[in-house]
Structures are given as C-alpha cells and as structure tokens.
Amino acid sequence: MPSDTETFPRPPLDAAALNAALVRPGRMWRGVDVVPAVGSTNSELVARSATGAPHGSVLVTEHQTAGRGRLGRVFTTPDRAALTFSVLLRPRVPTNALGWIPVIMGVAAVTAVRRVSGVAAVLKWPNDLLVPAAERAGEAEEDGKLAGILSEADFSAPDALGVVVGIGLNVSQDRSELPVDTAVSLRGEGAASLDRGELLTELLREFEELYTPWSAAGGDAGACGLAAAYRELCVTIGRRVRVHLPGDGLLEGVAAGVDGDARLLVDGPEGRTALSAGDVVHVRPGG
C-alpha cells in the first residue's frame, strides 16, 4: 500500500519558476523569496519593510512555526503542506481605504482556489476563506475554514508606509494535521489539484489584477469594481451574525452589507453599526 506522502506528495516550491512566472519589468511583483522555515512570514516581512524592502516583495515559507492570526491566535503548519506567504505593499491611497487591502487578498485567493482546485471557496467577513457546508465533501454540517488572512502596517518610515498582508491556505493536510475541528484543507475537500506553485502563481496574478485598478482609483473600491466582486463572494452579507468585538464586547444582528471602507454593517438592537474589526460567527437559524 502506498504511503500517505506517495499518494499526496508534498514537493518543494520552485523559487526560480515562481520568479520567472511573476516578476516582469514594470509589473507589481519585485521578487519571490522562498525560505525553508520561519516563525511568521508577516513578522519577517514587517521587519524587512523597516529596512527598506520594496513594494511588491513576496515572502513564502515551506514551514511556518509561529504563524499569527486575528485576536493573537498562534498556529503552525506542517512542512510543505500549506501555502503560507506574505506580500509587502507601499500604497498611496487615503488611510481609510487601507481596509480593502486584505479584502483584495481574500478575493484573489477565492478566485485562485476555484480555478486551480475546483473547491467552491467563499469569504466570511472580513477575509476568511470558507468551504460552505453545502459544498463540502461528505455530510458536513458546518462550514470549514480553509484559510485566514492577516494584515499589518509598518509606520517606521512615514513617507513610505508599508502594509504587509499574509495568508495561510491549507492545501494537503490530512485531518490529524489541521489545528482545529473547523479547519479544512483542499485535499480533504476533494481538490482537483494540490499544486502549491500553481496556486501561488494564480493568486498573485489575480491580486495584481485587482490591486492595480484599485490603487489607480485612489482606493475607491466602488469605482474599480472591487466592492462588487467582494460582495458577490462574501456569504456573511444577509446572514444573522454574532460578532465578538475587541475588549470582550458582543454584537448580534443581521449583516446588512459592507460600506465604502470595507466595514461590516450590522443591524442590531440599537440600530446599524459599522465594524472595522471583530470575530464573526454565522448564526444558524434557531441558533
């Protein structure tokens, strides 16, 4: 009987091939650096930003040992089992528009996952990738989390703001390698392809296709079509939600939409509230 790694091989990423496919004069990506292991690609790229790393830098790791999620959560990924990377941007848009940057990563990731793997990923506000229960393999009753996205800012050079946005996408993990019961991988959801190089190439190309017109529009997500694309993929909109707010606050209501600054609009007991941060739980009918 073939071993698990023979059935689901985990080849290393080919840095030369990635750079050949993505780095072009006059285009967005300046270089793709693949490292064997790192604590957090976000932390490392924020540090590089502070020492002058250019817009369009990409850092990818085969093995992340201290990844960071929202609300301070820490996670690890098995070697070569996930697609874990961060990008450095130096946007020149109004500060209130910066919330769209992780959204761009989310839209690009969903698009890449659908094209390459065939898995029917969607977005939960602000930018978690989910596989809806109705689309999951087997008879799953809950949505499965496929990836999380985290953005951070480097203000060390005020005239050259750095924004780092990172993603950890579960690719070939088996059930025992996933950190929590609600996590899923492309492998577990019957993906047509587990090629991390193809996924990364497609994702970064799509990111550039979204970021370039958004930046040219001065961060106006409505003018460039980004807002409409996001709303089409975001299954939070229209759902009843329970939002755990920073500082242990809690808000329940209906997610009415997303505003021009990428904030979630929740209609609750005291009217409409615009949220820029919070951990959203989709409430099932009767829940």
**Same domain membership, residue 207 and residue 130:** yes
Domain with 267 in it: 236-282
Q: What's the per-residue H, E or C state across 196-209? A: HHHHHHHHHHHHHH
Q: What is the DSSP string of the chain?
A: ---HHHHS--PPP-HHHHHHHH--TTSS--EEEEES-BS-HHHHHHHHHHTTPPTTEEEEES-BSSEE-GGG-EE---TTTEEEEEEEE---S-GGGTTHHHHHHHHHHHHHHHHHH----EEETTTEEEE-GGGSSTT--S-EEEEEEEEEEE-SSGGG-EEEEEEEEE-S--GGGSSSTTB--TTTTT-S---HHHHHHHHHHHHHHHHHHHHHTTT-TTTTTHHHHHHHHBTTTTSEEEEEETTTEEEEEEEEEE-TTSPEEEEETTEEEEESS-EEEEPPTT-
Cα 222 to Cα 45, 174, 183, 234, 258: the distances in Å are 29, 40, 32, 15, 11
Residues 190 and 276 in one domain: no
Which amino acid appears at position 119 of this protein? V
**200/18 Cα distance (integer angstroms):** 8
pLDDT band for position 8 (50/70/90)? confident
pLDDT at 219: 98
Predicted confidence (pLDDT) at residue 167 exceeds the cutoff of 50? yes
Kindly state the average pLDDT of the residues 166-174.
97
Of 197, 216, 231, which marks where a domain is finished? 231
Whether residue 163 sits in one domain with residue 85: yes
pLDDT of residue 46: 97
Query: Over the stretch 228-238, which tens digit does the pLDDT of each residue have?
Result: 999 999 999 99
Same domain, 189 and 267: no
In which band, very low, low, confident or very high, does the pLDDT at 1 lie, cut at 50, 70 and 90?
very low
Residue 159 has pLDDT above 90, yes or no: no
Tell me how far apart the alpha carbons of residues 48 and 30 are, in angstroms, rounded to a whole number. Answer: 14
**pLDDT for res 3:** 45
More confident call, 31 vs 73: 31
- Domain with residue 144: its CATH number is 3.30.930.10
pLDDT > 90? residue 113: yes
Residues 240 and 163 in one domain: no
The reply to whether 192 falls in a domain is yes
User: Which of 25-34, 112-121, 227-236, 244-253 shows the lowest per-residue confidence on average (mean pLDDT)?
Assistant: 244-253
Domain boundary, last residue among 208, 231, 254: 231
Based on the domain organization, do 128 and 270 belong to the same domain?
A: no
pLDDT of residue 179: 86
Which of 183, 179, 173 is CA-nearest to residue 144? 183
CATH for 275: 2.30.30.100
Give the mean model confidence (pLDDT) for residues 3-24.
Answer: 87
Q: 287 lies in a domain?
A: no
What pLDDT does 70 receive? Answer: 54
Do 110 and 131 sit in the same domain of this protein?
yes
| Domain limit, last residue, from 188, 203, 231 | 231
My answer on whether 113 and 247 are in the same domain is: no
Q: Say if residue 60's pLDDT is above 70.
A: yes
Q: What is the average pLDDT across 243-270?
A: 95
Answer yes or no: do 123 and 219 share one domain. yes
User: For the chain, how many structural domains are there in total?
Assistant: 2
> Where is pLDDT greater, at 140 or 96?
96
